[in-house]
Amino acid sequence: MHKTNTPIDVRYQETDQMGVVYHANYLVWFEIGRTKYIESLGFTYTDMEKNNIVSPVTDAQVSFKKPVRYGEKAVVETWIEKYDGIRTVYGYHILKEDGDIAVSGTTTHVIVHKETFRPLPLRKAYPEWHQAYLRHVNGES
């Protein structure tokens, strides 16, 4: 399974009064990891957006296991959990410096036309992405 690892330096402004990363920031980190994952396959969201296509989140699941604190380093591990030609479910682990999983989760995405928000099948709109996603979901590289 193809995975990417994206390093994150925990910044002060990302923490709450308890000195740990505020929970909503993990979704931002998921997005950073997802963008790097897509780039590792040779694609960019920018290319989609040039065609007025965007990829909204339709579902997000997050499980908090251990706190991450200001000054620590973390890594966002990202992969494709599931893909059916229309919906893509990305999986994530936020790893602490010692390799322990601090946060795990998934986000589900579709692609839509920016003005109508009508879903489009990725397999038809972007066949290269579709083929790459199928290869990685099936464990091929």
Which positions are annotated as active-site residues? 16
Taking 3-state DSSP, the helix, strand and coil percentages for the chain, each rounded to the nearest 5, stand at 30, 40, 35
Q: Specify whether the CB–CB gap between 105 and 32 falls below 8 A.
A: no
CA distance 95 to 93: 6
Q: Side by side, which strands form the sheet with 53-54?
A: 53-54, 111-113, 119-120
Q: Name the CA radius of gyration of the chain, rounded.
A: 16
Whole-angstrom distance, CA of residue 96 vs CA of residue 102: 6
What 3-state DSSP class applies to 86? coil
